[in-house]
Amino acid sequence: MNLELLTKQFPREQIKSRQGKKGMTYYYVPATSVIERLNQALNFNWSFTVVKEYIFENEVVVLGELKIGNEIVKQAFGNSPINGSIGDALKSATSDSIRKNAAALNVPAIFHTPSNTAEQQGNNQQSSPQFPQQQQQTDNPYRCSECNAGITKQIHDYSFRTFNKVLCMKHQQEARKQAR
């Protein structure tokens, strides 16, 4: 596994955004870019399987499973509103699940930014949506305070703002669960 490549920031032009729940803006990398990243960093030695699909009135939810070799490393739910066909919604929920699985491996595929925070702080550059910036990848000073995993500056900044702690994506998820 090439960790450095796995966790490397995506170029800004590959990052998309959409409005999420509760006033959050949801920044994400398309599943095709995530798949390409996994192929490169894991040398094609991974697979993704849809375990379950749930179709609700307005939304579909997909449970997907990521394996490296024969080992299940992660299961994650992806969801999508039904705006057109159920097939399209299932496809984008599957993409979402791939992203969430990859994020657990510290692939920087998903970011949430509270819209109100961005508005409050106006043009303050530090608080603008955390797009990747050009940065040296050689000497990465940003590390998770829980597990010491290398993280990006964006994840560092976001985590510090949100949790007052420097956490990788995985430990942010855990912090979020505990906060509920």
Supply the Cα-derived Rg of the chain in whole angstroms: 16
Under a CB-based contact definition with an 8 Å cutoff, are residues 18 and 26 in contact? yes
When the beta carbons of 65 and 146 are compared against Zn ion, the nearer one is 146
CB atoms within 10 A of CB 81: 12
Stretch that binds Zn ion, among 76-84, 106-114, 124-132, 168-176 (CB under 5 A): 168-176
Query: How far, in Å, CA of 23 to CA of 88, rounded?
Result: 24
Pairing of strands 110-114, 24-28: antiparallel
Under a CB-based contact definition with an 8 Å cutoff, are residues 131 and 12 in contact? yes
* Type of residue found at 16: K
Question: Does position 169 bind Zn ion by CB under 5 A?
Answer: no
Least Cβ distance, residue 92 to Zn ion (angstroms): 28
Least Cβ distance, residue 148 to Zn ion (angstroms): 7
Question: Does position 163 bind Zn ion by CB under 5 A?
Answer: no
Question: Does position 31 bind Zn ion by CB under 5 A?
Answer: no
When the beta carbons of 61 and 149 are compared against Zn ion, the nearer one is 149
Residues 87-116 that bind Zn ion (CB under 5 A): none
Q: Which residues here bind Zn ion, judged by CB under 5 A?
A: 144, 146-147, 149, 168, 171
